[in-house]
């Protein structure tokens, strides 16, 4: 299978669309509008840096996913991170330091990365790294959090640093959320959403879409309830099975089409909200965007991985640069040998080919 679309143009247009939507969503908030106008200018400059790197034979994606800790306080059913032994209860060893993460953020900005998605474990357990991210206003940092550590200290930081945007994870209504995340979690995060709304802070929600909650989370009533609580962005994350037993929960082609048409409808009916689908229909982007093609992942120890669902690495940014990581042997093999563009059954092409990815990482 040959790649036929201009991936650089595809990603640049995607960034511009998200920034445009975010500007519209922030119009009623002077602080947020001012920041978004600044970020719109910064994202144009980042696009120019990426284009210059492309001419120099270095493809730089718009997005980086950074798992800044491997510690978490919840035990969510089907968690890919725990299944891959990337998340644990105890204080992790050998995590990157604050200074190392700040260096990664600086390098990313110099290369032209516009978005760094902060994840974990539970990222708010690393307040030091979140604070360091706030010093980089030219990068937007969505913070994918379970919402249970949103204290006043964090809220005040988000107020000062508008490039830090909490994205709270939930599964739908109270029953769906508590069934996966634990009894009482829904009530706690709804309370924290109200605190964010009262302080006038932009925040989003992240929803893991499965065959079980698909209709609920795409319903007008559910989206309206989030909007009324102050949510301005909704990330629909397709469930990726990390065990064969969970495969029936992963959206197939029929469900993906339902997600696509549902999001198209929601964008029309709820213009006050930004909607992002990940990974979305890979056919629209000519294949999987992992391994630096559209994004890549840095784990809490510095390993550069194709994506969080494919925890294999042959290079560590604690020992080298972000630029070198983008051209690691593993990333180049996945991109140049066409593995990201191949057809697969569903969910995630790299999960389907995990034995191959592990072999490439170790050769």
Report the relative pairing of strands 304-305 and 295-298 from DSSP bridges.
Answer: antiparallel
For residue 344, pLDDT over 60 is answered with no
Say if CB 207 and CB 170 are below 8 A apart.
Answer: yes
For residue 75, pLDDT over 80 is answered with no
Which of these ranges, 95-109, 274-288, 302-316, has the smallest mean pLDDT? 274-288
Beta strands in 51-95 (DSSP E): 63-67
Say if CB 9 and CB 290 are below 8 A apart.
Answer: no
Confidence of residue 356 (pLDDT cuts 50, 70, 90): confident
206-218 exposure pattern, b = at least 16 Cβ within 10 A, e = fewer? bbbbbeebbebbb
Q: What percent of the chain has pLDDT over 70?
A: 85
Say if CB 240 and CB 208 are below 8 A apart.
Answer: no
Region 335-340: mean pLDDT is 83
Domains of the chain, residue spans: 7-362
What is the per-residue pLDDT for 7?
A: 63
**Coarse DSSP helix, strand, coil percentages of the chain, rounded to the nearest 5 percent:** 50, 15, 40
Q: What is the pLDDT of residues 197-251, one digit of tens each?
A: 999 898 999 999 999 999 999 999 999 999 999 998 999 988 877 667 777 888 8
Q: What is the pLDDT of residues 26-73, one digit of tens each?
A: 767 778 888 888 888 999 999 999 999 999 999 999 999 999 998 887
Beta strands in the chain (DSSP E): 63-67, 115-119, 141-145, 164-170, 204-209, 233-238, 274-278, 295-298, 304-305
What are the two backbone dihedrals, phi and then psi, of residue 149, each rounded to the nearest 5 degrees? -110, 25
Q: What is the mean pLDDT of the chain?
A: 86
At 242 the three-state DSSP class reads: coil
Say if CB 66 and CB 57 are below 8 A apart.
Answer: no
Instruction: Give the helix/strand (H/E) hosting 283.
Output: none
Say if CB 277 and CB 286 are below 8 A apart.
Answer: no
For residue 1, pLDDT over 50 is answered with no
The CATH number, out of the four listed (3.40.190.10, 1.10.3720.10, 3.20.20.70, 3.40.50.300), of the domain defined by the range 7-362: 3.20.20.70
- Please calculate the CA angle 289-144-38 and round it to the nearest 5 degrees: 80
For residue 281, pLDDT over 50 is answered with no
């Amino acid at each position: 299978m040959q790649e036929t679309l201009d991936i650089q143009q595809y990603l640049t247009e995607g960034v511009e669309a998200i920034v445009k939507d975010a500007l519209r969503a922030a119009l009623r908030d002077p602080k947020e509008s001012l920041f978004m106008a600044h970020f719109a200018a910064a994202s144009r400059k980042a696009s120019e840096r990426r284009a210059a790197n492309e001419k120099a034979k270095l493809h730089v994606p718009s997005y980086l996913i950074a798992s800044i800790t491997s510690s978490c306080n919840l035990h969510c059913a089907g968690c890919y991170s725990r299944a891959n032994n990337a998340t644990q209860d105890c204080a992790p060893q050998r995590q990157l330091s604050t200074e190392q993460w700040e260096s990664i953020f600086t390098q990313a900005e110099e290369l032209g990365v516009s978005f760094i998605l902060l994840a974990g474990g539970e990222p708010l357990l690393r307040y030091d790294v979140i604070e360091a991210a706030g010093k980089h206003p030219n990068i937007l940092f969505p913070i994918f959090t379970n919402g249970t550590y949103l204290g006043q200290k964090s809220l005040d930081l988000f107020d000062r640093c508008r490039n830090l945007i909490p994205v709270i994870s939930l599964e739908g209504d109270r029953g769906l959320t508590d069934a996966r995340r634990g009894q009482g979690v829904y009530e706690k995060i709804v309370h924290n959403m109200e605190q964010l709304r009262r302080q006038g802070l932009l925040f989003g929600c992240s929803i893991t879409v499965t065959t079980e909650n698909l209709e609920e989370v795409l319903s007008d009533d559910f989206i309206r309830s989030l909007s009324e609580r102050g949510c301005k962005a909704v990330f629909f994350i397709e469930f990726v099975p990390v065990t064969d037993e969970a495969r029936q929960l992963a959206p197939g082609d029929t469900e993906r089409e339902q997600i696509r048409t549902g999001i198209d409808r929601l964008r029309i009916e709820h213009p006050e909200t930004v909607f992002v689908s990940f990974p979305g229909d890979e056919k629209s982007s000519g294949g999987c965007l992992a391994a630096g093609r559209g994004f890549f992942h840095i784990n809490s120890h510095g390993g550069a991985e194709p994506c969080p669902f494919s925890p294999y690495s042959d290079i560590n940014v604690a020992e080298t640069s972000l630029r070198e990581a983008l051209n690691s042997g593993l990333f180049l093999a996945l991109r140049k040998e066409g593995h990201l563009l191949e057809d697969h059954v569903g969910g995630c092409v790299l999960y389907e080919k995990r034995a191959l990815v592990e072999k490439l990482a170790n050769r």
